[in-house]
Structure 1
Amino acid sequence: IPLAYFFAGVSSLPQCSESNLTISGGNFTLSKMYIYGSILRYHCPEGYYPHPVKLRQCYRGRWDPAPTKKQPECKRVTCPNPNVLNNGIVDPYKRIYYINDTITFRCHSDYTFRGSSTRVCQANGKWSGGTPVCSRNSDHCPDPGIPPGARRTGHIFNIDDAVTYRCHNNLKLLGSKVRVCQDDGQWSGQEPECYADFTYDTPEEVAEAFSSSLQTTLTMNEETGVYNEGGNPSKNVKEIKQIVYNGQVEKRDEYLDLYVFGVGDDVQREDIDDWVTKKRDEKHFFLLQDMENVEETFDQMIDESTSVSLCGLYKDYHDGTQSTMRRGYPWLIKIDVTHEDGTVANCLGSLVTPTFILTAAHCFRFGDIPENIKVGAPNVRGTALPKVKEHIPHPKFQIRDKVKEGISEFYEYDVALIELEKSVIIGIDLRTICIPCTKETSGALRLSSSGVTCKHHKEELMNNDLVTAKFMSSKKMGDVVPKKKVQIKEGYKRASCIEDAKKELNITDEQAAKIITDNFLCTGGAELNQVDDISCKGDSGGATFIEQKYRVIQVGIIGWGLKDVCKDKTQSIETARDFHTNLFSPEVQAFLKKYLGDGKRGAPLTFL
């Protein structure tokens, strides 16, 4: 395409017409209004699809395909014709089957039934369940069946016999067009399916088919274009196959798995289906409606029972309900401490192992007993956390340690652990957050397990003068627990942050050095047109965390601030500063390792 189309030349090209574009029963969106290159997409309510076209593209003042006098419409989704069962009966018999239509199958006498006896037409244009088969099981291989909407040639199923499939009407065949009966009594290749243009796979279907291949992490690139704008991959696919097969296709086919996730309306289904691996009882090509479905699919692929040891997993989407919103912060713990005098301290904490909660030491007082420490997981209904066994403050935390030096409150080493009487059950709503300098976090950051040090973690996470981080607020907005954004000041920015704090507190350099040590992270103020959020009373003990590579790593604990801007709304947020206990501090690391690395106290972390 000439470069002029993208720059100077584009303005001189005629626009496409705005008339005769509407769709009956739906609407449309435009990517670039009516100018050159704009894509018009038709949208229909759930259970309907645009017909006869899904999209048009503006090219040199004309739409392709061009609108006609007959207005496009939203038609009801149908499922492929299931009346292809040999040696059996489909009830009821209909010419067209729509969403929620239910059918049952039964075999003629002397035939044995297998598969799903009842199937329902689903909103994605597919039948629920598996292909029904009526057979006598007299050949070497079982009858491979006929999927809805297909036709099969071949009715003898002995060794080396082949069956061939094709789809009726405008349906496209995905899977193996030809399958051969093998010596082991199984069919080669993958069971075929017939897809309409509107057919797609649900996240649940994809996760079930693919989850066995996934155990640790996923990387997702969200790009546009039929081939992600990287050229046709056919040549690369061919080269990969040649390397793996090394001239021995049959012997080495089991070592190759090529998966493709097609997203949206522009997927070249039949071309892509030729690239992927085809194995018995497996599926390697999946069609999804949009990128949100891809993300949900990848989350569902993570088998909750096998991902217990994975820290920092979360989901950054929800459907508006409390239960799904909780999955965006599954480590968050609410802590209420009733002191001897009857006053109550409200704090937050983070689940760092199934038996330990990390929080701030200043939430507790001398004399607090486990019975008066209550912990819970916000927005998790019907799940009570185990009782508290004990709370363990850092041995060097002494809030009154420098009163004689004119410092009324001293928050150095403001870190504590709460040990539970028994382990929590890790699941989608309750997960551990990652903490630095552990092998578990090396895995989350995708760092090689050999030779990785705590320094490498810090270089990976704290690699700028301004490090974007977040914390959870204790102040709900309706049912939502807000996620607040800050920038941790490192390098010369940290020095500026401390200087700002010194001016606000009206203290000397010597006093500032005693109060704000290297064991604190500094946030607050305005940088790069962003004003940092400020923590409020009740946020203490919560995690200061970084979201990186689809995982969450805690780098600090919310400690103390210069102003209570939440109580006094007249105070300037821009001059407020917050200080967070730095989890990279050697003294803090030693404390965490002593308890969290102890195998006698539940599932331990492996410290570097």
Structure 2
Amino acid sequence: MAWPPLWPVLFVRQSGNTFHTPLSRSPSSVPPGPAARLRVRAKSRAEARLLGPAPRSRLPGAPSTLRPAERAPARAPRQPSSSRQCCHLLPVVAPLWPSCAEQDRVATAALPGNPDRPAAIRAVGRCCPRVHPLFGLAAATPSCPQNVNISGGTFTLSHGWAPGSVLTYSCPVGRYPVPASRLCKSNGRWQTLRSTQLTKAVCKPVRCPGPVSFENGMFTPRLGSYPVGGNLSFECEDGFTLRGSPVRQCRPNGMWDGETAVCDNGAGYCPNPGISVGAVRTGSRFGLGDKVTYRCSSNLVLTGSAERECQSNGVWSGTEPICRQPYSYDFPEDVAPALGASLSHLLGATNPTQKKKKSVGRKIQIQRSGHLNLYLLLDASQSVAEDDFHIFKESASLMVDRIFSFEINVSVAIITFASKPKIIMSVLHDNSRDATEVINSLDNINYKDHENGTGTNTYAALDSVHIMMNNQMQRLGMSTAAWQEIRHAIILLTDGKSNMGGSPKLAVDNIKEILNINQQRNDYLDIYAIGVGKLDVDWKELNELGSKKDGERHAFILQDTNALYQVFEHMLDVSKLTDTICGVGNMSANASAQERTPWHVTIKPKSQETCRGALISDQWVLTAAHCFRHAENSSLWRVNVGDPNSQWGKDFSIEKAVISSGFDVFAKKNQGILEFYGDDIALLKLAQKVKMSTHARPICLPCTVEANLALRRPPGSTCRDHESELLNKLSVPAHFVALNGSKLNINLKMGTEWTSCIQVVSQDRTTFPDLTDVREVVTDQFLCSGTENDDNPCRGESGGAVFLERRYRFFQVGLVSWGLYNPCGNSNKNSRQKAPRGKIPPPRDFHINLFRLQPWLRQHLEGILNFLPL
């Protein structure tokens, strides 16, 4: 594009969505010509550098020109840092005008004499001119070509087709993209982040590596690599016993299932450490102090320990080495238990006075002793898309919220990083121990905080942790128990390789030094390095950063942020909780229906199902009284409770049934009310206590100390406070469990909405032929639902919990009692029919309000649950 003569040109450098000006411009950018020129006087050297040398003539009315001696000296353009992306130069035509159109983000500098001049000059570099207001000249912004399709796959763009945008390819399961991604450069061309000879992107079939060697046995078939679904079988020679998996299958993520096969005769002080598929081992002596080293063949990447030593406890140091394809990744269902198994101290896990049991894997066990510092490091560099960063925050919030729900001693630090780290919260701050404050801080993190920093400086992020630790040590005293007994866990969430600031391993070494991490104190630090996505995630770097502990993994790569969220949902092993913490449900995508609502039980006489109920402790079930209106002997009944070892659950006999004495379905028959369900509540005491597990756990009842802890309310809270918090809107979203175990949705109507909701009962002339006052049937004991698009409970779902979710914990506010419409007219549990349009009466459902039956609950559950004042 030709520029009009005689107008000086500034160049603006763009980085991401932000534009920057160099400190000078070349004198040649001021073309000579006959036209008059504008001279802008610089009031400071900074402005002089910004505006550059001026032409000597001026326009009428403009200030006189400066003499040549007054000009700011020309300087060579500043070279961009190698650690950040240098973007294209956009010409800005001078003279610079006083304001810019908002939609065009025009770079601006004011004319001399304009009172807004300083602010306008500062705006240069923040805006990108598109159209000159006097000449209409467009400064074209390059965009990268759109012919980037991948054969057999799809792609996404982080910032459209603009420079700085990262294109990420995806392929169907069992295939991987080559290249994995591309970057739109400032010159409008695509650059492949990893070198490849291919010019066109393709999806290649995933293959698993083949064994290089196998001691004391044989394997079949013998191939260089194996297709997805292919099997690898191992056999041992006579005198050797096979340990591990005799048959392994190649999975779609490029990893073998099962465990490393080892043929061992038990002759060594330590067991034969084996040779993982694709690895080469040096060292065949397994005595005390002996060492073995590992390397990977061809282009495979080693994760785990490259060197291991036989220790005095008969265990090899470090982590089993695994050789992986560079494109391999981990499945959430593998990472969650692996992460959970290694986080024994994440929740203040080990009581300092409690002896460890040998041969017990390190599990997340919720304890209330010890103190944990949890450091969350979230990558916010340019390659992390805004939606993905949001999931980073959600995942971190989920973990924080669940940890605090278990009332342990924990302080949380939050650090986001790109080219530089930003400390959102420090463990030294009092708010770091307050779950609400921590989660609010996470929620309020702005994705654009790092938009000027495009690099990934993992070293600086970890060094921030080191500095934080040092400050806390100085405050508490290096030799005090208060400092020595703190356990530290660092969780790094990143989508790329560190590309500036130096090796992050140096920061890890400094952290280990300040914590005095040695063989005796190895449990006081856990570093989890989690790579997310398909960009420049580096297995080698993640492996260097992650802790190395026997039988554990601390480095993972997940395919996307949704997989990360699944991991954080699954990793808390609630089956190991030391007491009956209430209201914990597993809401991850892979959880079973019973795991999602582990309090849900089925009540049946012999084999026939009649009602539902909810575990409220390890031995008591809350249900509806009308379930027993025809029962003569409840001891013949059974309560089916979820059991992780059986898809059918486990039956418990009933030791005692407590039916509300106020319940009488015919109490108002003489008033023309054929059925009345006031006081429709009952308790069942099971003959044996239920073993707590992922499939069986009590729900939280409001107005109890247990629920107060789950709601994280202060100790002086009352029952009225709980009602105000849980039922605080005119329409409150809630749930109940269907016959098939799925969770269905309703809206509980409160206040004036409740009054409107119950009025339709008067239209049911069959059950209530002479009804004059609806409140004679629907007393204030009942909650009302069934309007809008609510699901309606079926016959047989009575007695089940009506519950709400608050911060990943579940609270029962009611129980299903009766309704005006049964959507399950047939025996198919999965078939529910919506009420016909215009049905008279329209559907309505009524549920016992537990806040209104507090006296009865306290009478029969005192000593079992701890109640708050009313």
| Short-chain TM bin | 0.7 to 0.9
7-16 vs 267-276, which deviates more?
A: 7-16
Q: Secondary structure at the match of 1:213?
A: coil
Is 1:523 the counterpart of 2:814? The answer is no
The residue number in structure 2 matching 1:485 is 745
- Structure 1 equivalent of residue 250 of structure 2: 122
Identical columns (%): 32
Give the letter aligned to residue 592 of structure 1. Answer: L
Who is 1:358 aligned against?
622
Q: 2:701 is paired with a residue of what secondary structure?
A: coil
Matched, 1:213 2:363: yes
- Tell whether 2:850 aligns with 1:557: no
Paired position in structure 2 for 1:28? 154
Q: Residue 534 of structure 2: SS of its match in structure 1?
A: coil
* Equivalent residue, structure 2, for 1:461: 726
Shift of residue 555 of structure 1?
Answer: 1.2
User: Counterpart of 1:341?
Assistant: none
Counterpart mapping for 1:55-74 below 5 A: 55-57=181-183, 62-65=189-192, 71-74=200-203
Cα distance in 1 for residues equivalent to 2:528 and 2:390: 16
Give the Å deviation of 1:154. Answer: 6.7
2:179 matches 1:53: yes
Does structure 1 residue 224 correspond to structure 2 residue 388?
Answer: yes
Q: CA deviation at 1:462?
A: 3.5
Partner of 1:386: 652
CA shift for structure 1 position 29: 4.0
In structure 1, what is the equivalent of residue 662 of structure 2? 396
Give the match for residue 679 of structure 2.
413
Report the secondary structure of 1:385's partner residue.
strand
Amino acid at match of 1:467: V
| 1:178-215 deviation digits (Å, cap 9, x = unpaired) | 54565666544333322222323345544553333313
Contact 1:337 1:364 in 2 (8 A): no
Q: 1:19 to 1:252 in 2, by over 3 A?
A: same
Offset from partner CA, 1:526-565 (integer Å, 9 cap, x none): 5xxxx44444554432221113333432211123456779
- Three-state SS of the structure 2 residue aligned to 1:249 is coil
Q: Distance in 1 between matches of 2:813 and 2:226?
A: 56
SS in 2 for 1:224: helix
Query: Which amino acid letter does the alignment assign opposite residue 232 of structure 2?
Result: T
- In the alignment, the residues of structure 2 paired with residue 532 and residue 597 of structure 1 have an alpha-carbon distance, to the nearest angstrom, of 35
Instruction: Classify 1:447/1:273 alpha carbon distance in 2 versus 1 (closer, same or farther; 3 Å).
Output: farther
Alignment of 1:339-354 (within 5 A): 346-353=610-617
One-letter amino acid of the counterpart of residue 302, structure 2 = L
Identify unmatched segments of 5+ residues in structure 1.
339-343, 475-479, 599-603
The DSSP-based 3-state class of the residue aligned with 2:388 is coil
Aligned position for 2:754:
497
User: Of the candidates 471, 477, 482, which is equivalent to residue 736 of structure 2?
Assistant: 471
Letter of the 1:359 partner, please give it: T
Query: For the Cα contact (< 8 Å) 2:761–2:841, is it kept in 1?
Result: no
Q: CA separation of 1:301/1:482 partners in 2, compared to 1, >3 Å: closer, same or farther?
A: closer
Alpha-carbon distance in structure 2 between the residues aligned to 1:594 and 1:488: 27
State TM-score, norm by structure 2.
Answer: 0.54
Distance (whole Å) between structure 2 residues aligned to residue 580 and residue 445 of structure 1: 23
Q: Give 2:301's aligned residue.
A: 172
1:571 aligns with 2:825: no
Residues 287, 406 of structure 1: CA spacing in aligned structure 2 closer, same or farther, 3 A cutoff? same
In structure 1, the residue matched to 2:547 is 277
Give, as a single letter, the amino acid of the residue that structure 2 aligns with 1:416.
Answer: A
Q: Mark the CA change 1:46 to 1:523 in structure 2 (over 3 Å): closer, same or farther.
A: same
Report the count of equivalent residues: 571
Where structure 2 has 5 or more consecutive residues not aligned to the other structure, the ranges are 1-14, 20-101, 106-127, 131-139, 342-361, 368-373, 379-385, 394-415, 418-457, 474-487, 489-511, 824-832
3-state DSSP class of the match of 2:652? Answer: coil
Please state how far the C-alpha of 1:362 moved relative to its aligned partner. 3.3
Q: Trace 1:268-347 onto structure 2 (pairs within 5 A).
A: 268-290=538-560, 291-292=562-563, 295=566, 298-299=569-570, 302=573, 304=575, 309-316=580-587, 324-335=592-603, 346-347=610-611
2:412 corresponds to which residue? none
Q: 1:45 to 1:316 in 2, by over 3 A?
A: same
Does the residue aligned with 1:274 lie in a helix, a strand or coil? Answer: helix
Q: Which residue of 1 aligns with 2:51?
A: none
Equivalent-residue separation in structure 1 for 2:745 and 2:159 (angstroms): 34
User: For residues 254 and 505 of structure 1, do their structure 2 counterparts lie closer, same or farther at Cα, with a shift above 3 Å needed?
Assistant: same
**Equivalent residue letter for 1:224:** D
Distance 1:347 1:574 in 2: 25
Given that 1:30 and 1:38 are in contact with CA atoms closer than 8 Å, whether structure 2 keeps it comes out as no
Shift in Å, 1:164:
5.1
C-alpha change, 1:348 and 1:98, in structure 2 (3 Å) is same
Look up the SS of the partner of 1:176 in the other structure.
coil
Give distance in 2, aligned partners of 1:482 and 1:184: 49
Distance 1:458 1:168, change over 3 A: farther
Distance (whole Å) between structure 2 residues aligned to residue 372 and residue 79 of structure 1: 56
Please show how residues 192-203 of structure 1 align to structure 2 within 5 Å: 192-203=321-332
Residue 437 (structure 2) aligns with? none
The AA in structure 2 aligned to 1:542 is: G
Is residue 238 from structure 1 mapped to residue 502 from structure 2 by the alignment? no
Rounded Cα–Cα distance in structure 1 between residues aligned with 2:787 and 2:391: 44
Query: Structure with the greater relative contact order (CA < 8 A, sep ≥ 6): 1 or 2?
Result: 1
Q: For residues 252-271 of structure 1, what are the structure 2 equivalents within 5 Å?
A: 252-266=521-535, 267-271=537-541
Change (3 A) 1:265 1:503: same
Instruction: Quote how far apart the aligned CAs of 1:485 are.
Output: 1.9
Summarize deviations over 1:330-355 as a string: whole Å, max 9, x none.
444455679xxxxx995433343454
RMSD: 5.0
Amino acid at match of 2:848: T
- Report the AA paired with residue 758 of structure 2: A
Tell me, in whole angstroms, the C-alpha distance in 2 between the residues paired with 1:347 and 1:184.
Answer: 55
- 8 A contact 1:16–1:34 mirrored in 2: no
Describe the shift of the 1:564–1:201 C-alpha distance in structure 2 as closer, same or farther (beyond 3 A).
closer
Which is worse superposed, 56-65 or 535-544?
A: 56-65
The one-character-per-residue Cα deviations of 1:382-403 (angstroms, maximum 9, x if unpaired) are 4463345554322233445456
